């Protein structure tokens, strides 16, 4: 895959700051033509660097007041299937296959501790899940929404 040049990086940073920014505004700020910006963004989408454009919501302001990370120990023979089933549980937002003492990491966001308990019960009932360890988020200290490109 072709490495990103400085112009690509500048375009990506602009889009990460504001995905709704117009091509003409990016072009003006980078002193390039609008067609150049359009072409480069299309190429970045085609090669999979840009996966999509989204609106970032504040979970707390839409009622998701409880966030937790759940560490999983799974039966190696059912690991992939267990993780796949977990992805379909309401309240589960991220699932990672990880190394170390635990084999999976799950991010959960729900309205209440009661809903968290329900999600944990569902996870615990899945074939292949041997053990869970839950960490409830007290407050978010830092959460980066952009990827550094340098």
Q: Using one digit for the tens of pLDDT, what is the confidence trace for 97-130?
A: 999 999 999 999 999 999 999 999 999 999 999 9
Q: Is residue 149 part of a domain?
A: no
> Which structural domain, as residue segments, surrounds residue 66?
59-136
Q: So what's the pLDDT on residue 71? A: 98
Cα 131 to the chain's mean position, in Å?
A: 24
86, with CB counted inside 10 A (0-12, 13-18, 19+), is buried
Q: Using one digit for the tens of pLDDT, what is the confidence trace for 83-94?
A: 999 999 999 999
For the chain, the distance separating the N- and C-terminal CA atoms, rounded to the nearest angstrom, is 17
Q: Is residue 117 part of a domain?
A: yes
Do residue 40 and residue 105 come from a single domain? Answer: no
Confidence of residue 2 (pLDDT cuts 50, 70, 90): low
What are the backbone angles phi and psi of residue 89, rounded to the nearest 5°?
-80, 130
**Mean of the per-residue pLDDT values for the chain?**
95
Q: Is residue 22 part of a domain?
A: yes
Looking at the whole model, is its pTM more than 0.85? yes
């Amino acid at each position: 895959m072709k490495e990103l040049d400085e112009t690509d990086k500048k375009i990506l940073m602009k889009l990460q700051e504001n995905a709704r920014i117009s091509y003409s505004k990016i072009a003006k700020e980078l002193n390039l033509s609008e067609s150049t910006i359009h072409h480069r963004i299309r190429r970045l989408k085609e090669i999979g660097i840009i996966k999509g454009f989204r609106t970032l919501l504040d979970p707390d302001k839409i009622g998701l007041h409880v966030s937790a990370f759940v560490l999983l120990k799974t039966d190696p023979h059912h690991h992939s299937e267990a993780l796949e089933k977990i992805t379909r549980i309401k309240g589960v937002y991220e699932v990672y296959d990880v190394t170390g003492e635990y084999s999976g990491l799950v991010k959960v966001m729900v309205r209440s501790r009661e809903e968290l308990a329900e999600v944990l019960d569902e996870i615990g009932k899945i074939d292949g899940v041997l053990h869970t360890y839950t960490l409830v988020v007290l407050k978010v200290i830092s959460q980066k929404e952009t990827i550094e490109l340098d």
